[in-house]
Amino acid sequence: MTVRHILAGVGLLALAIPALAASGGMRTPAHREGLNLNSFVQQGPVAAHVVLRSGNNPRLIVAFPAGNSGVGLWFAHLPQGAEWAMPVAPSPVSTVDGQGRALHGVRFSATIRARRLDVKQAVLSSVRVLRDYQGLGTVPAEVLTKVRVQGNQLDWARDRLDGALGYRLTVTVQRGTLKGSHIVAGSDGKIALGVTALTGETPLTPYRQADLLTRGAAADPGARTALNFLSYHEKLMAGSWRFNTYFGRDTLMSVRLLMPALQPQAVETGLRSVLVRLSPDGNVAHEEDIGEFAILDHLKAGEGKSAAPVYNYNMIDSPFLLAPVASAWMLDDARGRARAGQFLAQQVDGTTMGDALMRNIRFVAQAAAAFGADPRWNNLIALKPGMDAGEWRDSNQGLGGGRYPYDVNAILVPAALDAADAMARAGLLKPYMQADDAALMADLRRTAAVWRANAPALFLQSVDAPDARAAITRYAAKMGVPAAPAVAAAGSAPTRYHAIALDAGGKPVPIVNSDEGFALLFAHPDVRQLDIAADTIERPFPAGLMTGAGMLVANPVFADAAQQGRFGPDAYHGTVIWSWHQALAAAGLARQLERRDLPAETCRRLLSARDALWRGIEATRAVQSSELWSWRYTDGGYRVMAFGAGAGDADESNAAQLWSTVFLALKRPVPGAPACR
């Protein structure tokens, strides 16, 4: 993430995530994001992300893509906040244990100005276990590790639960005094620690940057570093430190948005990783439990200490993303068209990629059939029973209690049907079709038309101008932001937007949202839909989504007070900015502006929305590779705040997020460039 702007309240260093060449790998100097100090190492068999958390509850975590494993050390609450410093980038380390088994990790030194640090808990296991301890304060008893204290050194080491080589964390007090599990500062008030963190999980095979990106990719060193750290020949990682493993939706969206900048083998790595993890009926896996977390899963199920991966199929959006992304590669991209037959014929464990893709298409067609035959709201695609989340807004309150998401039903389902139909008509699927597929494939186009014609209208909302102005004024006062620009932008016409979801009774959940970006990228919206999308994106908050800190993903201006409280700037999917959703909207607007069937006024509105969006993107370059960020309004403007830095924030942002690197494939349009030709 190249810093082009100094943003008040972010606390970033002047150069964020610059990559250092190191024997063909990388080591990054520590960079600060909110309370976290981050550094990345990727060299040979070593890949590690070091995260030092400052503040009143200091901790250190080292996360490894190998096996999604990690080690962490939490310290007791401090009465006064303390800040870590790590003047030298971590060094890669490879060694063997007493049985000759290989361990890989990092070694580094860090200082903190605190009178005393009391060791609270060490956790050595899967990053999923570390995530749960950080969020819930719980950890499975079977993974707890006793500390061994010797001189000025604390050492935790253990094998994995199945007896395979596990993890090691060694902390040496370099400045200060170790007294049991207490570390007392030296006379200068500082504590200095030397840390060695190791994992025995099998290393992955990283991409060389030359094999990952085309020459046309943006020269953003931070985004390149983040993408490199998350990209391996086996799969792409969702984000670090918390998601160093495969996520289906993240992979598909990132591949689609990065496609123009990715080398062909990298695109196909992403597609292949999704196809090989499909369920028997063709659903896309959301997340994989691997390494020790898989063992814990199997133990809970009474299946013994198996490390076989366990896949989660709870998301309802992911299966409808596969066909559109595959079609974009194999039909719309000349490189993909030339390789499509070869790619689909590839076999993994005896199954071709073409067979797997057909399995997904059958799943999509069957899921869409009920609404295609009878387009009523209760035949839409709903969240799975007992779940509060099921698409990209996957926090418990992300859909405001909704059960039928707008993005899935109004956009992704018809897009998947259209893409499957296009691939079938191009002959790509014929070698993999079974005898009873003919009728199913013949009906794809008709079913898609029914969804397009009927689903969006179920979510469409219209607020009369006086009511809209009153709501905007009230909510602006509540949020401490200016109302006048938003009221002026709302104008004298009704405010139209698509509700974020329908609730269990089919009632729209009145949250203005950024999911119009999906329609812009994956669909062919009519003029009315394009006008709504442009207004939603461009209008200043709280009339729309635009702020000086970027485009928000949600705006509860027309919701009741309770909903507004659940969608604040401290909520994971509230009035916050997600980097990839800005990219989604930017790519979608660029796609729509290539059309030749739009009236001049709609074209003007799209251009205006594009320019407003890119102003927000340029203003937040410093945090662009982060997962998301929040904001505050002070001194007459919006200021970026690192998500997770506030005491009330629901979680913390990943410093490297796969789908936040997608700006490598996006460039700000040149002023005056032709559009709507």
Per-residue pLDDT, 25: 85
Distances in Å between the alpha carbon of 136 and those of 131, 132, 651? Answer: 8, 5, 11
pLDDT greater than 90 at residue 456: yes
Per-residue pLDDT, 359: 97
Find the range with the poorest average confidence among 219-228, 466-475, 528-537, 650-659. 650-659
Cα 333 from Cα 423, distance rounded (Å): 13
Confidence of residue 133 (pLDDT cuts 50, 70, 90): very high
Per-residue pLDDT, 603: 95
CA 424 to chain centre: 31
pLDDT greater than 50 at residue 16: no
The string of pLDDT tens digits covering residues 240-258 is: 999 999 999 999 999 999 9
Cα 426 from Cα 331, distance rounded (Å): 8
pLDDT greater than 90 at residue 230: yes
CA 434 to chain centre: 36
Average pLDDT over residues 535-550: 97
Average pLDDT over residues 641-666: 77
Average pLDDT over residues 663-669: 93
The H or E element spanning position 49 is: strand 46-53
Per-residue pLDDT, 33: 85
Measuring CA to CA, which residue among 397, 518, 498, 392 is closest to residue 455?
Answer: 498
Cβ partners under 8 Å of residue 161, min gap 6: 142, 143, 292, 295, 296, 299, 305
Average pLDDT over residues 422-430: 96
Percent of the chain with pLDDT over 70: 95
CA 64 to chain centre: 18
The H or E element spanning position 432 is: none
The string of pLDDT tens digits covering residues 300-357 is: 999 999 999 999 999 999 999 999 999 999 999 999 999 999 999 999 999 999 999 9
pLDDT greater than 90 at residue 635: yes
Give the global pTM: 0.93
pLDDT greater than 60 at residue 13: no
Amino acid at 534: A
Percent of the chain with pLDDT over 90: 88
pLDDT greater than 80 at residue 531: yes
- For residue 626, which phi and psi values (nearest 5 degrees)? -75, 160
pLDDT greater than 60 at residue 23: no
Cα 658 from Cα 664, distance rounded (Å): 11
pLDDT greater than 70 at residue 19: no
DSSP alpha helices (H): ranges in 593-669? 600-619
